[in-house]
A and B are shown apart, each in its own frame.
Chain A
Amino acid sequence: EDQVTQSPEALRLQEGESSSLNCSYTVSGLRGLFWYRQDPGKGPEFLFTLYSAGEEKEKERLKATLTKKESFLHITAPKPEDSATYLCAVQGNQAGTALIFGKGTTLSVSS
């Protein structure tokens, strides 16, 4: 069964304190791994898609990496505006185009 597990569930950082969020997955044939940001009461905002192990993508203070078993979302020198829930999702070949989401990591950055 395809599954996504994110850790930690919640993370509190001081402004400027870099850290990483983990997304472990099991899927029968990975078509793509997706990272989204979700603010309270809003829909998820697309961040990255990773397709193969070894791939990396960056956007401002965020960098996503992928291995065959997990993905990391690295946050460098975070700011309070980076506070949000970060969702990881996978898309497997057998599941068609349906996304399977993890429960998310809620990040709080204080100044």
Chain B
Amino acid sequence: GAVVSQHPSRVICKSGTSVKIECRSLDFQATTMFWYRQFPKQSLMLMATSNEGSKATYEQGVEKDKFLINHASLTLSTLTVTSAHPEDSSFYICSASAGTSYEQYFGPGTRLTVT
């Protein structure tokens, strides 16, 4: 149980284009989903928290107009990187939490490379 998937696993895009990453909870309803980014040999940094049906809460320093988050259902959240630049290249990981559970279950991650 508690499986979270992400799609795509890897994506290469050109500078200036937009990329959408999907995060799905496969066997539970995720009332809250989280988006993290991780640079090589660095810790996971929380970007935003989203609750189903409401606007995402962004961490300080994360541009909400650049990183669009949608949590339209209890099993799906999407992160869209708009007008991507090479400095946006990173490993993006989502996690999901169900109801009163404190555990977060992570997806396999998406490697974004912007050329």
> Taking beta carbons and an 8 Å cutoff, which residues of A are in contact with B?
31-32, 34, 36, 41-46, 49, 87, 89, 91, 96-104
Q: Which A residues lie within 8 Å of B42 (CB)? A: 103
B97 close to A97 (CB less than 8 A): yes
Q: Which A residues lie within 8 Å of B78 (CB)? A: none
**Which residues 1-25 of B have a CB within 8 angstroms of A?**
2, 4, 6
B114 at the interface (CB under 8 A from A): no
Closest CB pairs A-B (n = 5): A43-B106, A101-B43, A43-B109, A44-B106, A103-B43
Size category, B interface: 20 to 34
Report Cα–Cα, A42/B44, bound state, in Å: 12
Report Cα–Cα, A41/B90, bound state, in Å: 11
Nearest residue in A to B97 (C-beta to C-beta)?
A: A97
Report Cα–Cα, A103/B93, bound state, in Å: 15
The answer, among A43, A87, A89, A102, for a CB contact under 8 Å with B6, is A43
Report Cα–Cα, A13/B95, bound state, in Å: 31
A98 close to B93 (CB less than 8 A): no
A43 close to B107 (CB less than 8 A): yes
B77 at the interface (CB under 8 A from A): no
